[in-house]
Amino acid sequence: MYDGLSGQKRGLLFFAAVVIVFMQGGLWSARRRTVDNFPDDALVASTSRYLSFAWSNSRPTIKEHPIPGLMAEAEKAFREKLSRQSKTLEDAVAEYQRRYGRKPPRGFDDWWRFARENDVLMIDEYDNIDEDLAPFWEITGEQLRWRASVAGHLPFVDVVRVRSGEATAVNILDGEESEDVSARAKGFLSALKGFQHKVSARLQSGVCHAPRLPDLEFPINGMAESRVLVPWERRIQSNATLHSNVDAIIEELSGTRDPDWRGEGNVWEAFRRTCEPGTAARQLFSSFRALQSSVNQTSRLTAASDDFTFAWTTAGNYSFCSNPWAHYNQGHFFSDWRTIGAVFPIFSPAKASGYLDIRIPSHYYYAQTRRYTYGWDSVNLQLKDVDDMETPWEEKSDKIFWRGASTGGGSSPPGFAAQYQRHRFVRLASDQSSVNRTIVFADPPGSTNYIYADVHAGALNNEIMDVAFVKVIGSENYPGGHDAMVRFHRIDDNGVNLGDHWKHKYIVDLDGMGYSGRFFSFMESDSAVLKATVYREFFSDWLQPWLHYIPLSQSYAEIYNIHAFFSGATDATLRAANATALTLPAEHRATKSVDGDRRLRRIARAGKQWKRTLGRRVDMEAYIYRLCLEYARLASDDRDAMSFSI
């Protein structure tokens, strides 16, 4: 195609193309951004350095692929984090004071011994607890205890109590207590029992003549979705104002006794009131205009700039206040269940951006069940090191695998299900059109010489995707109804077992109505996990993307180039590029990258190792134990007396 052009014209055209591509978003990106440099208007924290490339046989070739750099940086960062963990109690106390500007809570020495005796590797990484409990330092212990008591009367909130060395769980409805509690409350109760006597003893008697504390109550969110969304105006009110408005707050919360919105508002309306005045989300007209401009952005998801831009973490810090249009792409904004509009201690398994829930380990992770636990023998009721359905790496499929129900959001208001995260992914993987995806791959196979080609999405999906819904739920809320949903999304009525996932090298983990409860089992499976989420969980400080798993952006557009790097170019890609491999003898035309496959297996093994060393049940207990000590101090009338000194 270049034969008819002079060298000068060719150079000018090439330069113009480079400028256009660079302006559209940085097609050839490599260096990871730091969190401090992550702008709040970026859809996902991503690679950003422009990769240099040169001409080879009239085709632009890329000198460096960003994924090896991302992996190397991830491994280095995680090794450094592990190496700097405190080795002695004195070191841990000093590090605590350095991070948080105060002494540790009373009982910190007991927690330290518990952690050391159980080989807990993360001694200092508990910033999530400090973040979640920060709002409660602004109120008194008496106010916190009162709010916990009130929260226990809200719909779909259970209460776990610690009294006289014993922990129990109850549900309160119309003043009547029942032991019929949610699985989440049962999971928290089960984890708490390992050290309940220590927490209770500290609460009742303390040491050094500390005043007796009241019994603790933990309001546990019974739903998968986050619950606490506090309007910006209420968050900046003084304690005195809040205290004087107690009756008003009670009246408002009592109005949430109806479990769903029932046409009276929705989650997005509650969320946007948490944003500061002046942000786009607080200005309805600008929100509408932002949506219009973003429609063009989302329609360009097939552009090369998105296809070759890699996330370096999941998008938990994304600002929906600055980018209100993006809320249409996330199902949790359309949840049917009401939120709580005041600072109340609600303990939840995960929270999205803007929520003030207190994170605890999920009961799906802590419990052992057939649907959510790798290696669980439901017949003999025992946990095996290797799942009965585990497949050797060499026998695993190279296809990208996902199965799940068409959940992902509620229906308040209805009509937006097409943009929920699961629907978008299944629709992307089901696309049989001639829309092009820009694929970067090694040519010849196994080399570090990278070129790119535009490949039809339909051909790519047939070659690398095994993605489908196994159950159609809520199709009445889908635009066009059931017929439209099944027309645009692949449906696999046969269903799958959890163990069927282990047959594949690539397992995708997506949010549903809330966080994904299968993540820990996926991590232990010896397959590589590709994860996209807007939720942050208790372990976020313990996990390293690009070492333990592969992060996906919310558009999923880069997933084709992830596969191309690790597993090599597909036949359709080679044909589209007229690649060198097509000229090789058949016996030498292997497209799989040996180095890429080795790197993919390294991620799979690192994920498994993480689950077995940092994602154990005892690690979850250590997290809850420390959270309880912090919460106990906050609930005290004399917080200074409930601090620990060596």
pLDDT score of 415: 87
pLDDT score of 602: 97
Distance, CA of 210 to CA of 570 (rounded, Å): 69
Q: Side by side, which strands form the sheet with 550-551?
A: 465-471, 397-405, 504-510, 528-532, 550-551
Distance, CA of 543 to CA of 109 (rounded, Å): 25
Q: Which residues of the chain have pLDDT under 50?
A: 1-57, 201-214, 285-304
* CA distance readout (Å), 614 to 17, 115, 373, 541, 544: 47, 12, 16, 11, 12
C-alpha neighbours within 13 Å on the C-beta side of residue 132: 28
- Would strands 465-471 and 347-348 be described as parallel, antiparallel, or unpaired? unpaired
* CA distance readout (Å), 92 to 98, 115, 539: 10, 12, 19
Cis ω on the peptide bond leading into residue 105 (within 30° of 0)?
no
Distance, CA of 104 to CA of 323 (rounded, Å): 38
pLDDT score of 317: 62
pLDDT score of 164: 77
What angle in degrees, to the nearest 10, is found between the helix axes of 108-117 and 89-100? 120
SS3 381: coil
pLDDT score of 193: 82
pLDDT score of 243: 57
pLDDT score of 190: 93
pLDDT score of 195: 72
List CB contacts of 342: < 8 A, sequence separation 6 or more. Answer: 147, 228, 230, 234, 249, 252, 253
SS3 30: coil
pLDDT score of 204: 45
* CA distance readout (Å), 532 to 159, 409, 468, 498: 31, 15, 17, 19
* CA distance readout (Å), 277 to 42, 280, 349, 354: 20, 9, 30, 15
* CA distance readout (Å), 294 to 291, 328, 473: 5, 11, 28
Residues shown for the chain: 646
Instruction: Judge contact between 376 and 369, C-beta under 8 A.
Output: yes
